[in-house]
Amino acid sequence: MVLKNRDIGLILSYGFVFGLMVIYQMSNVFSGGVFIVLITFVGLICFINNLRTRVNSIFLPALLLTIFMLVNTLIGNHSNIDNLLNTLLRIALWFWVYNIGTYFNNIELNNKKIFVCVIIYSLISLVIESGNISSDYSEINKFYEITTIYFLLLILPFVFCIHNKKIRMLLSILIGIVCILSFKRTILLTLILLAFTWLILLPKIEKKKKILIIIICGLIFFFIYNLANNGTFISIIQIWIYRFIGKGNTTMLGARGLTYSSVLSLMSKSNFIEWLFGHGYNTVSLASSTGFSAHNDFLEILYDYGIFALVLYICILYNLLKDFLLYRKFNKTVIGSINTNNEYEFNSFALISSVVIVVFAGMFSHLITYPTHFMLISLFWGWILPKNTILH
């Protein structure tokens, strides 16, 4: 089966994916069941077509990892058939979305259509997440649990590929501001690491100096302005200080430390077979004393799906780094794609930013545990990576 009109197929497919993201960001308003079925159906068609052509470097480990996740969950799940089917559909969602990205790869299609989808989704997400953010910064002991803010973080690699410099910078700045005001510690640290990565990859020291001066001047202006307006900026800083060095288990290390200890305790009680094949989807939250997920994708995969699945996940990250190093040799620009060797438009910073987000944010949060979060990154990987492997 072939998608005859690829332009229409692209708009519909990306519309389904971004539509589901919006639905999950407005979970109290809509249900995403129909979109999950549509994405699964389109992703399956794209998967069949991808098998007949070239694929990128992470296709095989991604396929094997998905099979491990599905089989392990199927074996370990004892709930009713409706819940089991719903769980299996959600687990495989990221792989179907990855296949959509691979089928509509940017080596073959006009990027403008994809960027229109990205821009529209980013603007809608900014409106939604801005509404979720509290305007009352007086309660510095308030815990901020806006997990949907991760959608904005995960769309950044796509935003970094937008050719129009003004649109790219504006969206990046707006997303950064809203992410900072969400008071999610992992997101703030990830943004800082992305900024350092960007500065390191910049080819000219003069540009680094200019950017640093602009950032410093902007911070000074922001500080003075807010100080003159009831000290909002000071309150924001106080909340961030509390979020990192609050008392007891409210600190980042304190809360995560308890969670990690609980997971490691569970692992110590697992038998050899469970070490190899895991316990099934999201079983950390069901079995741990804290009642939370592992808040670490590596620990979560190890406990839920076993050591084989963890090795496959690491293989995906390893292949991504290999592709980054390979194409970094040809692409010396940092932001904005260029034509590489008259063959492929590639943005090395966008790719490494996706790896930074998945590895660092995944060490302190749960991206792959919730397939909806992981969908945006897997869509990006399918779209940007070169299709250089023949399966048949």
Q: What is the pLDDT of residues 340-378, one digit of tens each?
A: 443 334 577 888 999 999 988 888 777 777 767 788 899
User: Which of 30-34, 182-186, 281-285 ranks highest by mean pLDDT?
Assistant: 182-186
In a domain, 1, yes or no: no
Residue 68 near residue 308, CB atoms below 8 Å: yes
Tens digit of each residue's pLDDT (9 = 90 or more) over 175-222: 888 888 777 878 888 888 888 888 777 666 556 666 666 666 666 556
In a domain, 317, yes or no: yes
In a domain, 160, yes or no: yes
Name the residue with higher pLDDT: 51 or 203.
51
Query: 317 pLDDT band (50/70/90 cuts)?
Result: very high
**pLDDT recorded at residue 343:** 35
Specify the DSSP class assigned to residue 250. Answer: G
Run of H or E residues at 346? strand 344-346
**pLDDT recorded at residue 88:** 84
In a domain, 47, yes or no: yes
- C-alpha 379/C-alpha 17 separation (Å) is 9
Which residue segment(s) compose the domain that 80 sits in? 6-390
- C-alpha 205/C-alpha 210 separation (Å) is 9
| Number of structural domains found in the chain | 1
In a domain, 375, yes or no: yes
pTM of the entire predicted model: 0.82
**pLDDT recorded at residue 334:** 38
Tokens of 268: 């110590």
For tokens 């997440």, the residue is 129
Tens digit of each residue's pLDDT (9 = 90 or more) over 71-127: 888 876 655 555 777 788 888 899 999 999 888 876 555 567 788 888 899 898 888
Tokens of 197: 């990565």
Nearest Cα to Cα of residue 154 among 112, 130, 186? 186
Residue 63 near residue 391, CB atoms below 8 Å: no
Say how far residue 146 (Cα) sits from the centre of its chain: 15
In a domain, 200, yes or no: yes
